RNA sequence: GCCCCCAUCGUCUAGAGGACUAGGACUCAGGCCUUUCAAGCCUGCAACAGGGGUUCGAAUCCCCUUGGGGGUACCA
């Protein structure tokens, strides 16, 4: 494939540090990384911090954390450096100033002295006249005298690119082919701002060239300005990198680009930021798998695959150019799959931070808690996210005097009344006193035997016990639960349940 | 408004003129299994936006319409 270009690729992920990384950005980085690894090339992290107003000092760390979380390691970038350092644009301002000046001298750009106020009123008038907005190129026509006078007055200025007034510009997008735009539709974009920092249009083109970037993957929102970029690159006499505009990620409603702002869809708040997914207990491997398959498809008959397999098969020209909403439910399903594939001890370590926080116990305390060793394997196939585990096992960490039964129904067995249920609980206590060893398997066998002897269905016999020890209608498998809390504690709880039930059935006149 | 992009089940997608009675996955519904809930297995519901062409033949190519998205900053 000619457009994929042979040989190692140099691709860059170039976020601007204006806030937390969201899933759209992460997906772009992922595709960058996949392509770099696929071609044995380099994945470069470049920070585009040329907007001083929107700069957020915390976001750089957040950005890096998000990339590391997904396992996207970069070969060149801030703090690790590289042959084209620095990788932070604010540290490269001199380069941009020189390049902008170069274009001015060659007549491809010009200084513009228009104030923000004038621009604003101009736009307002254009709007009122029902015309398209855009710079009217007033300063492009300045005479040398006027220019000298403004400079002498020390008037602040920007440098604007001088777009050819006629003709068409053609650029190529790998996914969409050649795209033609009439030059008269284009603006004389600002290249260098009054504060001496470049705009994206200049900075990205300069750096991509200097850093020898071969493929540019970026969001589709850049498609409209791509002709400008082509013109700028041409003006410098450089080659255009391969352009791949990735489809935007839509919010779950399928309407509108997903943004960092919280939005409610169908009465539910949905996650958008990388750290939110982290905090909710999604596994990086699951996220990697998930994200790889939106906008690109590994294999129509294989949903689950490894990083290595993804690298092996990934190809830029197979990317689907149409916008996509994230299938969140599929992510949950996938995460559950990855969760279940973990070894119990790996799951335990993954769970520790969540349980520690939610249970209010220290991680060291939990690490040696044998209740977890019994419970984790059975919780494993019941959760889709790490943060769901606690609600399955919190009851086991209650002291017996903290146990409470919200409703007597909880303790009533299938097709039984309160009196019969009390009998079941007493029988269970009796069984438990004698079971040896006190493990799930032995308890299970003994319970079955007793149920049969009593002539009741297993469900009728087990139900009240489940309610007694967990205080819940739905809980992990009973015998593991019993093993986890231990003989003594189980008997305690059964005793409490009996008392509760007797009191309530008495009140009901039973 | 103007410019650009996109268009297959609810969602993510396979499909590059005949292999399409349009395939897979998630969700949903039903069933099996079962100590609750899950997990697992099986079955089912469900799509080529519309209209014109081109062609022996169109989900696939072209045009129009419609719909959706993006852009229209001294933001990226």
> Per-residue pLDDT tens for A13-45?
999 999 999 999 999 999 999 999 999 999 999
For chain A, the maximum distance between any two Cα atoms, rounded to a whole number of angstroms, is: 110
Neighbouring residues of A153: CB distance < 8 A, sequence distance ≥ 6: none
Which one has a higher pLDDT value, A266 or A231? A231
**CB of residue A267 closer than 7 A to nucleic acid strand B?**
no
Indicate the CATH number of A263-338 among 1.10.1160.10, 1.10.10.10, 3.40.50.1010, 3.20.20.80.
Answer: 1.10.1160.10
Q: What is the share, in percent, of chain A residues with pLDDT greater than 90?
A: 86
The catalytic residue among A65, A155, A260, A457 is A260
Residue A25 CA to B27 C1' — how many Å?
26
Nucleotide nearest to A160 (CA to C1'): B74
Residue A500 pLDDT more than 80?
yes
Report residue A358's pLDDT band, with 50, 70 and 90 as the boundaries: very high
Report residue A128's pLDDT band, with 50, 70 and 90 as the boundaries: confident
- Residue ranges covered by each domain of chain A: 10-249, 263-338, 342-397, 398-508
Residue A4 CA to B9 C1' — how many Å?
32
Q: Which helix (H) or strand (E) holds A215?
A: strand A215-219
DSSP letter at A398 equals S
Quick check: A98 and A108 in contact, CB under 8 A? no
For the question of residue A472 being annotated catalytic, the response is no
Task: Please give the average per-residue pLDDT across A195-200, as a whole number.
Answer: 98
pLDDT tens profile A403-423: 889 888 899 988 888 999 999
Neighbouring residues of A442: CB distance < 8 A, sequence distance ≥ 6: A435, A436
Task: Please give the average per-residue pLDDT across A210-215, as a whole number.
Answer: 98
Among A108, A289, A84, A279, which Cα is nearest to A191's? A108
The strand B neighbours among A residues 207-236, by Cβ under 7 Å, are 220-225
Q: Which helix (H) or strand (E) holds A507?
A: helix A487-507
**What CA–CA distance (Å, rounded) separates A449 from A421?**
17
Neighbouring residues of A40: CB distance < 8 A, sequence distance ≥ 6: A8
Nucleotide nearest to A191 (CA to C1'): B74
Task: Please give the average per-residue pLDDT across A489-504, as a whole number.
Answer: 93
**CB of residue A85 closer than 7 A to nucleic acid strand B?**
no
Residue A438 CA to B29 C1' — how many Å?
42
Which one has a higher pLDDT value, A510 or A447? A447
| Range name among A86-100, A131-145, A208-222, A293-307 with the lowest pLDDT average | A131-145
Q: Which helix (H) or strand (E) holds A160?
A: strand A158-161
Residue A456, both tokens: 């009741």
Residue A1 pLDDT more than 50?
no
How many Cβ atoms sit within 10 Å of the Cβ of residue A225?
A: 15
Report residue A510's pLDDT band, with 50, 70 and 90 as the boundaries: very low
User: Tell me, which fold does domain A398-508 have in CATH?
Assistant: Arc Repressor Mutant, subunit A (1.10.10)
Quick check: A116 and A137 in contact, CB under 8 A? no
**CB of residue A60 closer than 7 A to nucleic acid strand B?**
no
Residue count of chain A:
510
**CB of residue A341 closer than 7 A to nucleic acid strand B?**
no
CA distances from A124 to A254, A275, A423 (A): 33, 40, 83
Helix ranges (DSSP H) in A39-143: 59-70, 93-105, 116-128
Residue A81 pLDDT more than 80?
yes
pLDDT tens profile A287-321: 999 999 999 999 999 999 999 999 999 999 999 99
CA distances from A3 to A6, A220, A283, A344, A410 (A): 9, 18, 34, 46, 65
Among A390, A352, A35, which Cα is nearest to A218's? A35
Residue A253 CA to B44 C1' — how many Å?
26
Residue A253 is predicted with a pLDDT of: 75
Report residue A137's pLDDT band, with 50, 70 and 90 as the boundaries: very high
Measured to protein CB atoms, the chain B nucleotides within 7 Å are: 1-8, 10-15, 23-27, 34-40, 68-76
In this structure, the strands spanning A268-269 and A264-265 are: antiparallel
CA distances from A308 to A65, A160, A347, A373 (A): 22, 46, 22, 32
**What CA–CA distance (Å, rounded) separates A65 from A408?**
49
**CB of residue A337 closer than 7 A to nucleic acid strand B?**
yes
Torsion of CA A415, A420, A422, A423, to 10 degrees: -120
**What CA–CA distance (Å, rounded) separates A399 from A67?**
42
Q: C-alpha angle A305/A307/A311, rounded to 5°? A: 105
ipTM of the complex as predicted: 0.96
Residue A365 is predicted with a pLDDT of: 95
Task: Please give the average per-residue pLDDT across A189-195, as a whole number.
Answer: 97
Q: What's the mean per-residue pLDDT of chain A? A: 94
Q: Which helix (H) or strand (E) holds A377?
A: helix A370-380
Which one has a higher pLDDT value, A420 or A264? A420
pLDDT tens profile A367-401: 999 999 999 999 999 999 999 999 999 999 998 78
Residue A127 pLDDT more than 60?
yes
Report residue A262's pLDDT band, with 50, 70 and 90 as the boundaries: low
The SS3 assignment for A99 reads: helix
**CB of residue A479 closer than 7 A to nucleic acid strand B?**
yes
How many Cβ atoms sit within 10 Å of the Cβ of residue A439?
A: 14
Residue A5 pLDDT more than 70?
no
**What CA–CA distance (Å, rounded) separates A25 from A28?**
5
Which one has a higher pLDDT value, A124 or A3? A124
Residue A405, both tokens: 């039964």
Report residue A339's pLDDT band, with 50, 70 and 90 as the boundaries: very high
Quick check: A191 and A165 in contact, CB under 8 A? no
Residue A504 is predicted with a pLDDT of: 79
**CB of residue A486 closer than 7 A to nucleic acid strand B?**
no
User: Tell me, which fold does domain A10-249 have in CATH?
Assistant: Rossmann fold (3.40.50)
């Amino acid at each position: 494939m000619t457009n994929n270009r042979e040989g190692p690729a140099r691709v860059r992920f170039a976020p601007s540090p204006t806030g937390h990384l969201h899933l759209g950005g992460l997906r772009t980085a992922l595709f960058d990384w996949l392509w770099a690894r696929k071609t044995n090339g380099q994945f470069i992290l470049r920070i585009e911090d040329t907007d001083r107003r929107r700069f957020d000092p915390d976001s750089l760390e957040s950005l890096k954390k998000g990339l590391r979380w997904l396992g996207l390691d970069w070969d060149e970038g801030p703090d690790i450096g590289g042959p084209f350092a620095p990788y932070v644009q604010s540290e490269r301002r001199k380069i941009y100033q020189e390049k902008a000046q170069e274009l001015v001298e060659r007549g491809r750009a010009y200084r513009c002295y228009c104030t923000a106020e004038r621009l604003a009123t101009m736009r307002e008038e254009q709007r009122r006249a029902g015309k398209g907005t855009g710079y009217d190129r007033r300063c492009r026509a300045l005479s040398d005298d006027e220019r000298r006078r403004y400079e002498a007055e020390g008037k602040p200025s920007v440098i604007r690119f001088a777009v050819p007034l006629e003709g068409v510009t053609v650029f190529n997008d790998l996914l969409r082919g050649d795209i033609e735009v009439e030059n008269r539709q284009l603006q004389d974009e600002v290249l260098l701002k009054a504060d001496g920092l470049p705009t994206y249009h200049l900075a990205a083109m300069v750096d991509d060239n200097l850093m020898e970037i071969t493929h540019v993957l970026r969001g589709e929102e850049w498609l409209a300005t791509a002709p400008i970029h082509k013109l700028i690159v041409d003006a410098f006499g450089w080659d255009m990198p391969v352009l791949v505009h990735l489809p935007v990620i839509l919010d779950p409603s399928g309407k509108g680009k997903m943004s960092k702002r919280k939005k409610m869809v169908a009465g539910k708040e949905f996650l958008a930021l990388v750290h939110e997914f982290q905090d909710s207990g999604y596994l990086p491997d699951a996220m990697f798998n998930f994200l790889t398959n939106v906008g690109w498809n590994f294999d129509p008959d294989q949903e689950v695959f490894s990083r290595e397999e993804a690298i092996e098969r990934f190809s830029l020209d197979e990317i689907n150019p149409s916008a996509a909403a994230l299938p969140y439910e599929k992510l949950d399903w996938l995460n559950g799959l990855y969760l279940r594939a973990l070894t119990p001890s790996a799951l335990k370590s993954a769970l520790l931070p969540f349980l520690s926080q939610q249970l209010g116990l220290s991680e060291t305390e939990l690490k040696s808690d044998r209740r977890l060793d019994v419970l984790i394997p059975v919780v494993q196939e019941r959760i889709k996210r790490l943060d769901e585990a606690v609600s399955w096992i919190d009851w086991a960490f209650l002291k017996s005097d903290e146990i409470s039964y919200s409703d007597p129904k909880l303790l009533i067995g299938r097709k039984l009344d309160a009196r019969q249920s009390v009998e079941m609980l007493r029988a269970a206590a009796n069984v438990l006193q004698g079971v040896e060893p006190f493990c799930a398997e032995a308890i299970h066998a003994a319970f079955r035997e007793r149920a049969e002897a009593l002539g009741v269905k297993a469900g009728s016999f087990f139900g009240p016990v489940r309610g007694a020890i967990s205080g819940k209608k739905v809980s992990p498998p009973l015998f593991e639960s019993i093993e986890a809390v231990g003989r003594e504690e189980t008997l305690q709880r059964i005793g409490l349940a009996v008392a509760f039930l007797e009191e309530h059935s008495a009140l009901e006149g039973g």
